Structure 1
């Protein structure tokens, strides 16, 4: 593989640790490709300040950076507790209620009123990321009785997971819809949907985005056991996928998470769907200046699994070393990519003309030892298909549209460039090659493979494939 360009992308969660244009420029220089806005925290005003700073920083660094807005979703939480916290003692009996009362040592309120009545004998109720466990004993008239199996302190508004229990609520809450209108109005590139339980959840969100005249792609987060049980159908419903190992590690037995990650990434690769691996990738660097050996190995294994991107959460949002952690991640990824075997068989993808041209371009670039593949793209579709085949060389995606360039910052191996719109294919290719040369991606004498569509400007019309030597006349 060409060692000059990192293929796996880095998603950074924004927060207080990287606030401000200068800090964001430093993250971009360190390797940030996608910026995540976590809508579970903060205000619209704060997010807008961060978004404006990010766009100024990206312009200053001359690098398209995508924005991923992560909706909170229907998170079940502990209600208000007396004094803000209670200490659950192992073996104690506690009643779960949904009527809004304030909880104490014998009563645990939950934020979803219907949940206690949906619980059945033997169900597990997991609190504080699975570190506190209740087991349901019986239904009472106005509550559900459970026994504390693993005790400890529980605080107001901490998360609750009930593996295998349908919540009976939609994937988007009123808060999510308000947040969605806000992020679409400000032109985010991706919207991540939390706590997906059925294929229709992604379809519904995509329709809501269209109703808002947005073009953001839908990222489905695999967190719930119900989603894992419908893996194929939900992957098919998504534009992109996230392996969200935090809640997944609570919903599933911990020993099943690594195999589930591998299965899910393989499904996405086979369908040509970009996939992000997330949660605790370099968690120790939230405090420490270097990661653990196990974390480095986890990142490498994710690359070898075939992930398009890895995500940093608290490490960049609230950590002590946000720039260092991105630099460290970039080094680990580059080292891992030297082990990666290029090429993916898209056996489950229905072939069409665009995909046939993409596959031919990938094979031609490999056989000719080309420096890069140059995709002249209006919508980004050709570049995505090229990325899905995992070529042995970088895909330089030249587009006249800023929003398309940003959205192409996520998929594996794509280098997005904004190029001027031209009237002829030759002029467009020449401008794109000049931009790639100026960016240091190609040099005179390099052999590249060019893909484009005729007539220019049409979506899904890729039908041209040409071998070109940089510096020689085009067409």
Structure 2
């Protein structure tokens, strides 16, 4: 049976049994949010429900990696911006962009990898900023597309020279917790850039009493470039299309996924697909025709499974999302 991992969230908490019975084979618990003790509770809950349902089930710890985010705004949650407007990015937690054209970035290391000419995508593509000048702990940027800048939104930089760290100090602590807890079957590492990230994680997980598999989330240009060596080291790879679609030119996303697929196939490593699989269920009784064909195509080509994120965490129909994807996987997986 093809893997179908789901992400719990406000819309699916309390429906774990229904989701497992609808066809989920695993749960992704993201360590980006909440505490390790809370994730342990969620892991125990899913293990019990799956056992009571008589289902094989994987509990996956999703390790966050280094996230770059804007700080909060004074007085407003967002601002409208127009092409040609100039702003200054600095390290900090709070800014008043309407008053002084300044935006804060909460992670100081963001600026160390930045270069003049870089394109910074705000959020999921609300707007794009072009870097005109970089200095110590700051950068000048120009808005390239009319749009909206929301406080606390993520920042993604295109190009393989820009590499968010796969393992921050928090991530290393989370990995040590996973190794001690014996509650997780799999660890998904974010922003894997090369095989060394996996070797470092595997060394920590080697102390676990139970075997823990490693899934490499490939979601940067560097990860795509090094997909072959990553596939050799990982137990499984994930084409994490959410961040990947922002890290590479959007028109190149299909090529990036295909390169991940090819690398995995050449090493015999299972690979899975993530992001925007059946979001059409928010508007229609079935997924969009494009979503149906997209998932069927990858499943028929040998994709080992999928990860549902928004559809089950925040979507209005989490159980339907799982059942729909299960039907497609059962029909088209080879």
**1:79 pairs with 2:71:** yes
Deviations 1:130-189 (A, max 9, x none): 331111112357632111111322222211011126457632123323332333314201
**1:60 pairs with 2:55:** no
Q: How does 1:392-411 map to 2 (within 5 A)?
A: none
1:29 to 21, 27, 31: 21
Structure 1 counterpart of 2:83: 90
1:143 to 113, 120, 138: 138
Contact 2:124–2:246 (CA under 8 A) maintained in structure 1:
yes
Structure 2 counterpart of 1:8: 2
**Tell me, which stretches of 5 or more residues in structure 2 are unaligned?**
none
Say how many residue pairs are matched.
330
TM-score scaled to structure 2, two decimals? 0.91
Shift of 1:287: 5.7
How far, CA to CA, are the matches of 2:34 and 2:146 in structure 1? 31
Contact 2:84–2:144 (CA under 8 A) maintained in structure 1:
yes
Q: Which has the higher contact order (CA 8 A, sep 6+)?
A: 2
Q: From the CA coordinates, give the structure whose radius of gyration is larger.
A: 1
Q: How does 1:301-340 map to 2 (within 5 A)?
A: 301-337=297-333, 340=334
Contact 2:67–2:164 (CA under 8 A) maintained in structure 1:
no
Shift of 1:289: 3.6
Q: How does 1:59-458 map to 2 (within 5 A)?
A: 59-83=51-75, 84-100=77-93, 102-105=95-98, 106-140=101-135, 143-164=138-159, 166=161, 170-184=165-179, 185-211=181-207, 215-286=211-282, 288-337=284-333, 340=334
How far, CA to CA, are the matches of 1:271 and 1:182 in structure 2? 30
Structure 2 counterpart of 1:18: 12
Question: What SS is found at the alignment partner of 1:243?
Answer: strand
Structure 2 counterpart of 1:376: none
**Tell me, which stretches of 5 or more residues in structure 1 are unaligned?**
1-6, 341-475
**1:40 pairs with 2:40:** no
Distance 1:112 1:167, change over 3 A: farther
Contact 1:262–1:305 (CA under 8 A) maintained in structure 2:
no
How far, CA to CA, are the matches of 1:281 and 1:27 in structure 2? 16
C-alpha RMSD of matched pairs (Å): 2.2
